[in-house]
Amino acid sequence: MSRSGYEDWDDRNGDPNWAAICYAGALRKTVNGKGGQAFLCEMLTALDAMPDKRLINHALQAPSFIPPEYTEGQHCAIGAVGARRGVNMSIIDPDQYALVAKTFGISETLAREIAFQNDEAGGYSENADRRWQRMREWAARRINAGKTLTNNKES
């Protein structure tokens, strides 16, 4: 199973696509909901406010022992929000999605998807500059999609 929550097989009912269908529906609901849209807007603001437009992967913030590929003060996409809020992220394991979700006030599904997009969707050789650009574009597309869906329901 990927970090995103998609699975290849659902043993409960024998349907190879059912888990993916359920996850996709839960993701769509959380992204387009009021809380998901608010968090994505906040994430977009945090990304734009970063002085160094680079995102790390597999950590909320650069660790105290800084590997050569990181620089002090760097964050992942969710970590950028945490830095802006003043969250102590050194005590949060980024793979504990329930804890990340609770800390940031988002659904576990959204926490998983942002982690997947930040860490895995760009491929192994993606650099930190390109990761920032891709994540910013990803968040902006999701915000616009949520506004479009909301506006269409009101029409």
Structure tokens at 151: 């506006």
Would 30 be classed as within a structural domain? yes
Residue-level pLDDT at 68: 54
- Give this prediction's pTM: 0.79
Q: Which amino acid belongs to residue 82?
A: G
Residue-level pLDDT at 30: 87
Would 7 be classed as within a structural domain? no
Structure tokens at 145: 């999609």
Number of separate domains in the chain: 1
CA 51, CA 62: separation in Å to the nearest integer?
Answer: 15
Residue-level pLDDT at 36: 92
Residue-level pLDDT at 66: 54
CA 4, CA 89: separation in Å to the nearest integer?
Answer: 21
Express each pLDDT in 68-96 by its tens digit: 555 556 889 999 999 999 999 888 999 99
Would 90 be classed as within a structural domain? yes
- Give bridge partners of residue 80 from the DSSP assignment: none
CA 76, CA 58: separation in Å to the nearest integer?
Answer: 8
CA 121, CA 123: separation in Å to the nearest integer?
Answer: 6
Residue-level pLDDT at 20: 79
Q: Which amino acid belongs to residue 11?
A: D
Ranges of residues in the chain whose predicted pLDDT is under 50: 1-3, 8-10, 149-150, 154-155
Would 3 be classed as within a structural domain? no
Residue-level pLDDT at 48: 95
Residue-level pLDDT at 141: 92
Question: What residue numbers bound the domain in which 29 lies?
Answer: 18-154
Would 139 be classed as within a structural domain? yes
Would 146 be classed as within a structural domain? yes
Task: Answer whether 48's CB lies under 8 Å from 136's CB.
Answer: yes
CA 116, CA 77: separation in Å to the nearest integer?
Answer: 11
Residue-level pLDDT at 118: 93
Would 11 be classed as within a structural domain? no
